[in-house]
A and B are shown apart, each in its own frame.
Chain A
Amino acid sequence: MSDWVEACAAGDIDEEDVIRFDHAGRTFAIYRSPDDEYFATDGLCTHEKVHLADGLVMDDIIECPKHNGRFNYKTGDARGAPVCVNLKTYPVKIDAGKVLIQIG
């Protein structure tokens, strides 16, 4: 379970924003919160498999670009219709200016 993967450089993501990261056939979304912390979730919305990285980050919420399904990206919690299934989250750490995520 110590399979940390380098996703991007810390500066690649703006504050209160998200980018897409593809790795080994999977896709993830990497977030930088307004208070400069980093988080990672599965990359696709649980409603219709849309890439969340095209969505809008406001505070600790990512909103799906397609149908406005909302999740708390820090916990993965679905926040109301149309989404009802939570997002999977992944541990993140910053090492020498790189964002690493632990893909279980």
Chain B
Amino acid sequence: MVIIGAGECGGRAALAIRDLGYDGPVTLVGDEPHPPYERPPLSKDAMTGEAPSIKAIATDALFAERAIRHIHSVRAVAIDRVAHTVQLSDGSSLPYDKLLLATGSVPRQLPMPGLGSRCVYLRTFSDALAIRAHLSAGNRVAIIGGGFIGLELAASARKLGAAVTVIEAQPRILMRGVPAEIADIIHKAHEAEGVSIRTGQGLAAIADDGNEVAITLTDGQKIDADLAVIGIGAVPVTALAAETGLAIDNGIAVDEHLRTADPDVFAAGDCCSFPLAIYGGRRVRLEAWRNAQEQGALAARNMLDADEAHAAVPWFWSDQYGLTLQIAGLSDEGKSIVRRDLDDGAFILFHLAEDGRLVAASGIGPGNAVARDIRLAEMLIAKRAKPAPEALGSQAVKLKSLLAA
């Protein structure tokens, strides 16, 4: 069993293969020097914590104990599907019976001239350390892109006392996947914390002299910053799969078992697109921590012939200041919205399809105020339930009672 990519997905897959009792060789190949680690803290605690450290999914010692070989700081450069081998950047070659591509995604590059050493992206722990070095009080940080990475970084930078400007080309922040009502709460929270948000603004020019970045917006405004962090999305890492002739469709295309057209090659996590059964087989690609974890484990089962279809409901969260947002399901599947107010200003928006089926739930509130109801909503979505809108909208009706119905 060979796994390419030693992130959340690959690391979980390696452990799961052993948990399932497989006793042949398991090899995990990753290009970072670290053991697999959790990426969500990179924009949050790794920025603001006292001494940032990697939150490892598995230590070298655990891998040794589980007889998992982790080849680090090495890249897979080619796959020979006929010979069943993977060529590595150190010149060696690995034979495989089953191969998992868990190559993840990388930040989308800003296609503009003028970028230099003060224009950076966030994906790895070393990226996080480099950004952190510039987030001290008094420094000016420009964040290009009002998505989750950018906004979480903005919150962390404010906590450290940096001056922050967020630039978003769309008319509002979090345009993709987050309802306007919730994006508005987050927008206001940032402004209350002193972040300047410029929406509807493209970039006319960037000039980075290695010490300072001068940004000109499409309306002519100028922003000078000590650091520009670019967070404009991620693209799946598919080159290796494409070169070996596997189909690419917004990611490495796999079926509901996470299998490519080659029965011995699987793909999971950020790098793959797969059909989501709960939305009629709609093909999606998810860039989310829990998906990486679940698909890593599912791929492991199917590499060992479980033949199990993906059935999980998409879910993700974001923490900014004291607020937590959680979304279960894909809200763009909804045609109408029912709002449920909870304590402390928290609320949940339930997204219903035309036929009344619950297809998504988006919640925001202080701390973990929405967590329990979002989790129950996720179960209702998985059950394809059609709960009465009045029940969803009333805090007096426990969501758990709707599950039994």
Contacts and interface: CB of A to CB of B under 8 A. Distances in A.
B293 A82 contact: yes
Contacts of A55: 368, 371-372, 375
B314 interface: no
For chain A, the bracket of interface size reads: 10 to 19
A96 interface: no
Contact of A56 (B57, B293, B369, B372): B372
Nearest to B373: A56
Q: Which of B15, B317, B368 has the most CB of A within 10 A?
A: B368
B375 A68 contact: yes
Interface stretch (A5-13, A24-32, A36-44, A59-67): A59-67
Given A54-B367, A81-B12, A65 B293 contact: no
Contact of A54 (B38, B289, B372): B372
Interface in A61-85: 63, 65-68, 81-82
Nearest to B290: A68
A66 B38 CA distance: 14
Contacts, number: 35
A82 B376 CA distance: 20
B290 A65 contact: no
Contact of B297 (A16, A50, A68, A81): A81
Interface string B228-242: 000000000000000
9 contacts: A50-B368, A54-B367, A54-B368, A54-B369, A54-B372, A56-B371, A56-B376, A65-B372, A65-B375
Interface of B: 12, 15, 38, 57, 289-290, 293, 297, 317, 367-369, 371-372, 375-376, 400
Given A54-B372, A56-B371, 20 more contacts: A16-B400, A50-B368, A51-B368, A54-B371, A55-B368, A55-B372, A56-B372, A56-B375, A63-B375, A65-B372, A65-B375, A66-B317, A66-B368, A67-B289, A67-B290, A81-B12, A81-B15, A81-B293, A82-B57, A82-B293
Interface of A: 16, 50-51, 54-56, 63, 65-68, 81-82
